[in-house]
Amino acid sequence: MQTVNREIMKVMLTKEGPAVSRIALGMMRLRDRQSNAKETLGLIEKSVETGITTFDQADIYGNYMCEELFGRALALSPAIRQKLQILTKCGIVLPGHPNSKHSVKHYNTSFKHITESVENSLKRMKTDYIDILLLHRPDPIMDIDEITSVFSSLKKSGKVKHFGVSNFTPRQHKLLADRLDFQLVTNQVECSVLHLDPFLDGTIDTCVRYGSCPMFWSPLAGGELFTGRSRKIVRVRRALEEIREQRGAESIDLIALAWLLRHPSRVIPIIGTGKPERIERAATSFDINISREEWFRIWAASNGRDVP
């Protein structure tokens, strides 16, 4: 497999930073992989070697276990921390956890909860700081002034370097962004060749308006791109396969990632694989410079019609 120029895999989320890799590695399924700390460290090292240095976490992933598993791996090689950008999320509260007294899943974006979540994440991941903290979901009873206060407090303490949101609507994003005296660096949302909403509902436009880059979870539609049988998926898969064949690419997932990376907003797709060979392969999507015509060919296949 050819080597990718790692320099092209870096992007500044805002003019003030941070610098992250153009593809991030998601840790949501880390607990499911049944890997020990040494194997997890090997995955981290392979990812960094490939040029993917940004790791996406959340406090609740793996029923609050994924951050801890990640931390155990980092403890085996503390020096590698300086090569990573760790992103984590908070604000969702799960019931049924051994240390939880809650009986219903809910959102909590209070000063106290966000502060405690950060402290727990730092402890679990055995690190002194978090590069990027996101609010995992918009809380319908969130107090914007309380959120701005806790963000400012955490930034001043150095425990969190940068902040963003996840799954926020453009209006919710704007509401919080306009109250802060520093930039939100991203809005992390679902987007793929099968899920085009962020292109149309103002999500990407709002990120551009505030000088930040969007991050996309499920950029391969959770595997539906390969296994789905609906007419839409079959259409899109056929278009991807045609372009893959014309380009001589290894697989359609590379075309799907290259399609996202082609957007001028400098999007960061978050891939969820735990296999080193797939991480290395994903990085080669940078070698595929999707043309404007190819981009709209895939767009039309997803929408089921040509543009008006």
Residues recognised as catalytic: 61
Distances (CA, A) of 304 to 100, 231, 244, 294: 46, 9, 20, 15
Structure tokens given for 155:
């930034």
Query: Taking a C-beta distance cutoff of 8 angstroms, is the pair 243, 300 a contact?
Result: no
Residue recorded with tokens 């899943």: 105
Positive or negative, the CA dihedral 66, 70, 72, 73 is: positive
CB 186 within 8 A of CB 212: yes
Take residue 35 and report the two structure tokens written for it: 């890997």
Chain centre distance of CA 160: 17
Q: What angle do CA 2, 20, 80 make, to 5 degrees?
A: 80
Cβ partners under 8 Å of residue 30, min gap 6: 40, 61, 62, 65, 66, 69, 70, 274
Cα–Cα distance list, 170 to 76, 186, 204 (Å): 41, 12, 8
Q: How many CA atoms lie within 13 A of 83 on its CB side?
A: 17
SS3 content of the chain, % helix, strand, coil (to 5): 50, 15, 35
Q: How far is Cα 233 from Cα 255, in angstroms, rounded to an integer?
A: 15
Residue 10 and residue 25: Cα distance in Å, rounded?
14
Contact 74, 67 (CB under 8 A): no
